[in-house]
Amino acid sequence: NVSVVLFTADLRLHDHPPLRAACEAQAVVPLFVRDEGVTATGFAAPNRLAFLADCLRDLDSGLRERGGRLIVRSGDVVDEVCKVVAETDADEVHMAGDVSAYAHLRERRLRRALEAEGRRLHVHETVTTAVTPGAVTPASSDHFAVFTPYFRQWAQTQLRDTLAAPRTVRVPDGVGSEELPTRSGLSGLSEGLATGGEAEGRRRLAAWLRDGVAAYEDRHDDMAGDATSRLSPHLHFGTLSPVELVNRARKVAGPGAEAFVRQVAWRDFHRQVLAARPAAATADYRTKHDRWRSERTAREDVEAWKEGRTGYPVIDAAMRQLRHEGWMHNRSRLLTASFLCKTLYVDWRVGARYFLELLVDGDIANNQLNWQWMAGTGTDTRPNRVLNPITQAKRYDPDGAYVRRWVPELAGVDGPSVHEPWKLQGLDRAALDGYPDPVVELSEGLARFKRARARD
Ligand code: FAD
């Protein structure tokens, strides 16, 4: 008998319950469909397509080492799976559960199509999250809307053991596959884009647990120190398993590992919100605000924000890092989101969309719900907090090294005075090399914010 494993956001061989279950059959078809449904949503941005190409090539080589190979098809995911099932006379299809509205629809369609042909679909949980969305709930609701009580229950949930990668994968002869995608031909890639693939993800994880995680609690907000794991794209594409990540971090133990595990739980938290309320990808989750400036009315401010020339050095450094690497430090994401939503009072969806164009870890649950958190429409219990880019910059980039790294016009300004270039005098000011004045006074932004919120 034959089983198909449909890979989606779980591009790995280690700790992969659907693959392990499929390997019980005499032969396995490891399948990835380049789904035109995803392409049509505009979600397939160049940086993520490049990382995906790395992941698929690496998955294929891992399978070849085990005697198999990856089958790649393009088209409608349901049609393609059904074709492969028919060609190989497979009895069942195994795949990971996922949380977006699109993933739910895909699962329903696939189940219906397969059952109509007398085949079975098995959806496995704890593949793309550590704890299954909906497995822990408060007494009065189908999901947690606040992180702290969620985390209390999450932390007490027993995780399953990490699964080894299968030793051999027997793929039936004669199953046709397209060529594996490559990075070449993709334009608009960020220059400093990370490399994808399970081998790279595992190497990074091992190095992180050995050298990085112990200092995480103290250093995670040090913007210049770059002392976070940078595992987010690997979690997004599933080249690393969240269950394995948490199991291994817990073995390291200590305050750094605990703080890190808590951060990984934020990922599960947002996924259980999105699973219960898929509309939160675009609609305000808890509190509706409708006085936002649109991209059109605030066009010049939005352009300055996107291009990293708002005149606030830490904001500009962060936005340039995003463009250069397709990735940003968490503190940078918080500051740039607060600046767009609360200082410029622009609709959070404008910022979320721009992040998704560039982020290599761009993820519907994490991106949209973090944006909502910062916009005060989501799960933040202090929805009116505004992050002051100057105070925050002095706290999290005390020497100004992060700003100097990303804003060359300011590279000659020493120490923390780089955060307030408008205070420089005489020749120092003249040497700024065209760095712009602030697009708005912070006090003016705050006054606009308060007016809008008072009327909402
Ligand atoms: P680490 O600090 O090493 O954390 C480890 C892992 O925990 C991360 O890889 C991530 O999976 C998870 N994590 C950490 N912080 C958060 C958080 N606040 N929410 C949810 N999960 C978290 N993360 C994404 O993966 N994709 C996104 O599209 C995304 N968009 C964001 C947009 C905004 C406006 C904000 C404020 C945050 C966003 N985040 C997003 C969350 C967070 O900024 C990144 O996960 C983190 O910066 C990735 O770097 P790291 O892997 O070094 O994180």
Which stretch of 209-223, 399-413, 416-430 has the lowest confidence by average pLDDT? 416-430
Which residue type does 385 have?
Answer: R
Q: The tokens 């830490």 sit on which residue?
A: 314
Residue 363 has pLDDT above 80, yes or no: yes
How many C-beta atoms lie closer than 10 Å to residue 399's C-beta?
13
Percent with pLDDT over 90 in the chain: 95
Residue 244 near residue 162, CB atoms below 8 Å: yes
Are residues 228 and 137 part of one domain?
Answer: yes
Residue 372 has pLDDT above 90, yes or no: yes
- Reported confidence tier of residue 42, pLDDT bands at 50, 70, 90: confident
* Domain-terminating residue out of 276, 291, 315: 276
Length of the chain: 456
The predicted structure's pLDDT at residue 39: 80
Residue 433 lies in a domain: yes
Q: Could you read off the pLDDT of 292-331 as tens digits, one per residue? A: 999 999 999 999 999 999 999 999 999 999 999 999 999 9
Residue 40 has pLDDT above 90, yes or no: no
Residue 90 lies in a domain: yes
Q: Cα 307 from chain centroid?
A: 21
Residue 282 lies in a domain: no
Are residues 142 and 107 part of one domain?
Answer: no
Residue 46 has pLDDT above 90, yes or no: yes
The predicted structure's pLDDT at residue 294: 93
Q: Which two tokens stand for residue 243?
A: 């269950």
Report the atom number in ligand 1 closest to the C-alpha of 363: 28
Pairwise CA distance, residues 263 & 258, whole Å:
9
DSSP assigned state of 364:
H
HSE-up of residue 178 (Cα within 13 Å, Cβ side): 15
Residue 57 lies in a domain: yes
- Reported confidence tier of residue 433, pLDDT bands at 50, 70, 90: confident
Among 243, 263, 325, 346, which is best to mutate for testing ligand 1, by the most ligand atoms less than 8 A from CB?
263
Are residues 445 and 307 part of one domain?
Answer: yes
The pTM of this model reads 0.97
How many C-beta atoms lie closer than 10 Å to residue 261's C-beta?
22
Residue 181 lies in a domain: no
Are residues 345 and 254 part of one domain?
Answer: no
Q: Could you read off the pLDDT of 226-240 as tens digits, one per residue? A: 999 999 999 999 999
The CATH number that applies at residue 251 is 1.25.40.80
Q: Where are the alpha helices (DSSP H) in 277-386?
A: 299-307, 313-325, 330-338, 348-358, 364-375
Which stretch of 40-49, 305-314, 319-328, 414-423 has the lowest confidence by average pLDDT? 40-49
Residue 43 has pLDDT above 90, yes or no: no
List the one residue out of 69, 75, 99 whose CA is nearest residue 5.
Answer: 69
HSE-up of residue 224 (Cα within 13 Å, Cβ side): 18
Q: Could you tell me if the ipTM is greater than 0.95?
A: yes
Instruction: Find the 263 Cα to ligand 1 centroid distance in Å.
Output: 8
Are residues 248 and 352 part of one domain?
Answer: no
Residue 353 has pLDDT above 90, yes or no: yes
List the one residue out of 335, 310, 332, 347 whose CA is nearest residue 452.
Answer: 347
Residue 138 lies in a domain: yes
The domain in which residue 267 lies consists of: 129-159+198-276
* Domain-terminating residue out of 245, 276, 307: 276
Residue 172 lies in a domain: no
Residue 212 has pLDDT above 90, yes or no: yes
The CATH number that applies at residue 61 is 3.40.50.620
What's the longest Cα–Cα distance across the chain? 80
Q: Which two tokens stand for residue 242?
A: 């969240």
**Which residue's alpha carbon is at the smallest distance from atom 29 of ligand 1?**
367
Mean pLDDT of the residues in the chain = 96
Are residues 223 and 319 part of one domain?
Answer: no
Q: Could you read off the pLDDT of 54-107 as tens digits, one per residue? A: 999 999 999 999 999 999 999 999 999 999 999 999 999 999 999 999 999 999
Strand order in 71-75's β-sheet?
71-75, 27-35, 2-7, 92-96, 120-124
Instruction: Find the 402 Cα to ligand 1 centroid distance in Å.
Output: 19
Pairwise CA distance, residues 356 & 233, whole Å:
13
Are residues 92 and 66 part of one domain?
Answer: yes
Are residues 246 and 336 part of one domain?
Answer: no
Report the atom number in ligand 1 closest to the C-alpha of 371: 34
Are residues 308 and 245 part of one domain?
Answer: no
Please state the rounded mean pLDDT for residues 426-450: 91
Number of domains comprising the chain: 3
**Residue partners of 313: CB distance under 8 A and separation at least 6:** 393, 400, 403, 407, 410, 418, 419, 421, 435
Are residues 136 and 151 part of one domain?
Answer: yes
Please state the rounded mean pLDDT for residues 134-163: 97
Are residues 263 and 144 part of one domain?
Answer: yes
* Domain-terminating residue out of 79, 108, 128: 128
Are residues 314 and 233 part of one domain?
Answer: no
Among 150, 228, 232, 347, which is best to mutate for testing ligand 1, by the most ligand atoms less than 8 A from CB?
232
Instruction: Find the 232 Cα to ligand 1 centroid distance in Å.
Output: 6
The CATH number that applies at residue 403 is 1.10.579.10
**Which residue's alpha carbon is at the smallest distance from atom 23 of ligand 1?**
366
Report the atom number in ligand 1 closest to the C-alpha of 269: 20
Instruction: Find the 446 Cα to ligand 1 centroid distance in Å.
Output: 27
- Reported confidence tier of residue 368, pLDDT bands at 50, 70, 90: very high
The predicted structure's pLDDT at residue 110: 98
Q: The tokens 């990971």 sit on which residue?
A: 96
Residue 185 lies in a domain: no
